[in-house]
């Protein structure tokens, strides 16, 4: 397997994401985003822009004043008239100090506004990521997500801190200086501007090449990031299967690709920068020769020639800097474009701001699936025309073969996804009509892979109920048996559970997740393989706890172990997205030949 083959699949989306061309439509979306984040800062932005324009004008005036000083001031001094030289010196001082002062205003102002804008944008992106549906997160890789919040912002930051400064300086210098040169002396000005013809073509060439080179480096970097994050996220599998050497090799090859791509960009700069230098030096030589000849001929004053030579430096140097700016501009444009792409994603399960009014006593928890059809992104229907009614307070056991659609039903009930057709209601209220707050009190789900966050045991139990008191946390913990190991952790409920709960065993993590759900006290509780990692004695303990916790609460329990299922009032057997059996455990067993009965028989056999 070559590197290309190995990573094509994983990195395809990452690479495609690099805009082939950031003009046209892509730029419109980007512009809209930039416009909206900059809108609250119109005034400070205008002030900053004014500062840099005036600062540049002041700077541009200095060489002109120097020339004037040589021609008029010195001539005046010869006749004993110190007025002109004093006035010109004062003007130069004012310009120099003014330029510096306004430049300071620009640097500190643009830095401050830039950081405020980045802060707003960062908060917006995070909030948006959180609201995007699970369907989005399933296909958006962690590497890409990290890139959005780090390197994209980094590139924007670079543009705010260095790029804008360079660009403003260059554009204003070139325009201002160009105009002054033509006014000072038209023929000599034209000689200077002639240097622009080769520069124009050189710059066009560089832009074209560097856009392609830049894309190549982005793609190569994306591959490196994907390989890096995938390997390290899967570090346990890497160790288990001794994949280190092969991963080293792949990483080496991908990094080599990045090195080669970067090196190609530097080759381009290696032509562009010296090219500018060459044109600049030739122009200066031409100006000195032609200008000197005109001065000797008496067609031009020597001060004007001095101004020209001083101006030429301000003319070509910023151009080399612009090429650097161009790179950071491309990075920022690509970054903003991707951020705009994320912000344009509609949340798949939008919550209303003002949800339906709940009954004063809270929800009772009567669940109904009405003619529900659902498919994941693949478009294949997992369930269709699905009907189910669960009276309030009933404990349902959902059983069925792997892939039957049990977790899918649970996710629809927890509103992780919305049905493609039909609706799911609680007490007659569609889930889509509930706001964030009501939905939280309506349903909670505990899954097999319960996520434990860094922090204390108590923090994790109170995750879904931040207002819970310490006593309530401890009571929930007791109810499911977290107290059996909490005291072993050192600081009891205040113990740090480590990154992703790494200090807890898999079963202990499940208990914490159960406690978390019980504390949240939802009308409908869903347990999807929530006790699968517990040993038999612990499961029995949890089960007896479940009986009290589930009493009077609608609950859906999904489990492969039938021992978990025995506390249910009603068993639903799911097959290929359809309910094939429905009844109380004894009733289904009594049938003797049904799915549940045969599952039960198989389970009994496995026990002996
Ligand atoms: N996120 C997803 N994206 C696409 N297809 C999915 C996704 N999750 C599940 N599926 C598909 O939906 C079908 C039902 O899966 P589901 O997870 O609901 O099964 P299950 O009954 O919970 O199985 P198990 O007992 O193994 O947990 C499967 O064919 C599976 O391939
Ligand atoms: Mg499942």
- Read off the pLDDT of residues 410-432 as tens digits, 9 standing for 90 and up: 999 999 999 999 999 999 999 99
> Cα separation of 359 and 344, whole Å?
36
Mean pLDDT of 124-152: 85
Q: For ligand 1, is residue 252 a contact (CB within 6 Å)?
A: no
Decide whether any atom of ligand 1 lies within 6 Å of the 403 Cβ: yes
Instruction: Compute the distance between CA of residue 30 and CA of residue 47 in angstroms, rounded to an integer.
Output: 23
What are the strands of the beta sheet with 578-583, ordered from one edge? 443-446, 524-528, 554-558, 395-400, 570-575, 578-583
> Could you tell which of 139, 376, 403, 414 is best to mutate to test the pocket of ligand 1, judged by most ligand atoms within 8 Å of the CB?
403
Report the alpha-carbon distance of residue 543 to residue 566 in Å, rounded. Answer: 9
Q: What is the pLDDT of residue 27?
A: 67
Instruction: Give the three-class secondary structure for 214.
Output: helix
Per-residue pLDDT for 8 more than 90?
A: no
When pLDDT is cut at 50, 70 and 90, the band that residue 7 belongs to is very low
- Look up residue 387 and give its DSSP letter: E
Q: Are 333 and 152 in contact (CB under 8 A)?
A: no
Q: In which residue are the tokens 């709940």 written?
A: 358
Average pLDDT, stretch 361-375? 92
Ligand whose nearest atom lies closest to the CA of 399: 1
Instruction: Tell me, using a 6 A CB cutoff, whether residue 576 lines ligand 1.
Output: no
pLDDT of residue 262: 92
Rounded to whole angstroms, the Cα distance separating 565 from 550 reads: 13
Which residues on adjacent β-strands are paired with residue 572?
398, 582
Question: Quick one: pLDDT at residue 172?
Answer: 80
Mean pLDDT within 46-70: 90
Q: Which CATH number among 1.10.260.40, 3.40.50.300, 3.40.640.10, 1.20.1560.10 corresponds to the domain 3-344? A: 1.20.1560.10
Ligand 2 centroid distance, CA of 561 (Å): 13
Rounded CA separation 511/530 (Å): 9
Are the C-beta atoms of residues 485 and 539 closer than 8 Å to each other?
A: no
Task: Classify domain 367-607 at the CATH topology level.
Answer: Rossmann fold (3.40.50)
405 lines ligand 1 (CB under 6 A): yes
Cβ atoms of 365 and 427 closer than 8 Å: yes
Q: What is the pLDDT of residues 559-603, one digit of tens each?
A: 877 777 778 899 999 999 999 999 988 888 888 778 888 888 887
Give the H/E segment covering residue 302.
Answer: helix 302-344
Q: Which of 140, 348, 381, 382 to mutate to test the pocket of ligand 1 (most atoms within 8 A of CB)?
A: 382
User: Residue 403 Cα, ligand 1 centroid: separation in angstroms?
Assistant: 5
Segments making up each domain of the chain, as ranges: 3-344, 367-607
Mutate to test the pocket of ligand 1, among 404, 412, 420, 529 (most ligand atoms within 8 A of CB): 404
- How far is it, in rounded angstroms, from Cα 536 to Cα 510? 14
Between CA 567 and CA 239 the distance in angstroms is: 40
What long-range pairs does 491-496 form, CB within 8 A, spacing at least 24? Answer: 491/456, 492/457, 493/456, 493/457, 493/458, 493/461, 494/456, 494/457, 494/458, 495/456, 495/457, 496/454, 496/455, 496/456
Q: CA–CA separation, 511 vs 227, rounded Å?
A: 34
Work out which ligand 1 atom sits closest to the CA atom of 448. Answer: 27
- Please, which residues bridge with residue 328 across strands? none
Span from the CA of 392 to the centroid of ligand 1 (angstroms): 27
What does pLDDT average to over the chain? 85
């Amino acid at each position: 397997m070559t590197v290309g083959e190995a990573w094509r699949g994983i990195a395809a989306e990452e690479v495609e994401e690099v805009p082939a061309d950031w003009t046209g439509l892509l730029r419109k979306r980007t512009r809209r985003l930039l416009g909206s984040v900059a809108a609250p800062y119109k005034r400070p932005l205008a002030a900053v822009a004014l500062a840099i324009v005036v600062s540049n004008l002041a700077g541009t005036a200095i060489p002109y004043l120097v020339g004037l000083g040589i021609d008029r001031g010195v001539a005046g001094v010869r006749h004993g008239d110190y007025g002109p030289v004093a006035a010109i010196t004062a003007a130069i001082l004012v310009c120099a100090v003014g330029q510096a002062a306004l430049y300071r205003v620009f640097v500190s102002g643009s830095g401050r506004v830039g950081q405020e804008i980045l802060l707003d944008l960062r908060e917006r992106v995070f909030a948006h990521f959180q609201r995007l549906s699970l369907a989005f997160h399933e296909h958006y890789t962690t590497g890409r997500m990290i890139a959005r919040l780090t390197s994209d912002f980094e590139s924007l930051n670079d543009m705010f801190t260095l790029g804008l400064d360079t660009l403003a300086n260059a554009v204003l210098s070139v325009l201002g200086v160009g105009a002054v040169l033509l006014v000072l002396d038209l023929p000599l000005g034209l000689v200077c501007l002639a240097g622009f013809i080769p520069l124009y073509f050189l710059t066009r060439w560089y832009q074209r090449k560097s856009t392609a080179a830049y894309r190549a480096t982005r793609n190569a970097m994306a591959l490196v990031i994907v390989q890096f994050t995938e390997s390290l996220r899967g570090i346990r599998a890497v160790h288990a299967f001794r994949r280190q050497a092969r991963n080293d090799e792949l990483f080496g090859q991908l990094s080599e690709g990045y090195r080669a791509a970067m090196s190609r960009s530097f080759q381009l700069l290696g032509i562009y920068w010296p090219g500018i230098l060459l044109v600049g030096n030739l122009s200066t030589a031409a100006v000195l020769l032609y200008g000197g000849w005109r001065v000797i001929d008496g067609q031009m004053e020597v001060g004007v020639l001095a101004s020209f030579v001083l101006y030429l430096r301000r003319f070509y140097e910023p151009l080399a800097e612009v090429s650097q700016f161009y790179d950071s501009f491309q990075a920022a444009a690509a970054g903003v474009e991707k951020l705009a792409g994320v912000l344009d994603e509609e949340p798949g399960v939008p919550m209303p701001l003002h949800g339906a009014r709940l009954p004063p006593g809270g929800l009772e928890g009567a669940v109904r699936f009405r003619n529900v059809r659902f498919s994941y992104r693949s478009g294949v229907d997992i369930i269709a025309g699905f009907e189910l009614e669960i009276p309030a307070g009933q404990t349902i056991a959902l059983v069925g073969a792997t892939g039957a659609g049990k977790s899918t039903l649970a996710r629809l009930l927890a509103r992780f996804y919305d049905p493609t057709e039909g609706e799911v209601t609680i007490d007659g209220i569609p889930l889509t009509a509930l706001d964030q707050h009501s939905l939280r009190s309506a349903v909670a789900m505990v899954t097999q892979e319960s996520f434990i966050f860094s922090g204390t045991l108590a923090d994790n139990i109170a995750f879904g109920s931040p207002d819970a008191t310490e006593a309530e946390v401890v009571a929930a913990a007791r109810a499911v048996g977290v107290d059996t190991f909490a005291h072993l952790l050192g600081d009891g409920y205040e113990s740090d559970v480590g990154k992703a709960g790494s200090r807890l065993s898999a079963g202990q993590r499940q208990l914490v997740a159960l406690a978390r759900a019980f504390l949240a006290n939802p009308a409908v509780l869903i347990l999807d393989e929530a006790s699968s990692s517990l040993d038999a004695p612990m499961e029995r303990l949890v089960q007896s706890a479940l009986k009290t916790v589930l009493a009077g609460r609608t609950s859906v329990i999904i489990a492969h172990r039938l021992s978990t299922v025995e506390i249910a009032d009603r068993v639903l057997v799911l097959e290929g997205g359809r309910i094939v059996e429905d009844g109380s455990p004894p009733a289904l067993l009594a049938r003797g030949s049904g799915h549940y009965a045969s599952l039960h028989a198989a389970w009994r056999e496995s026990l002996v």
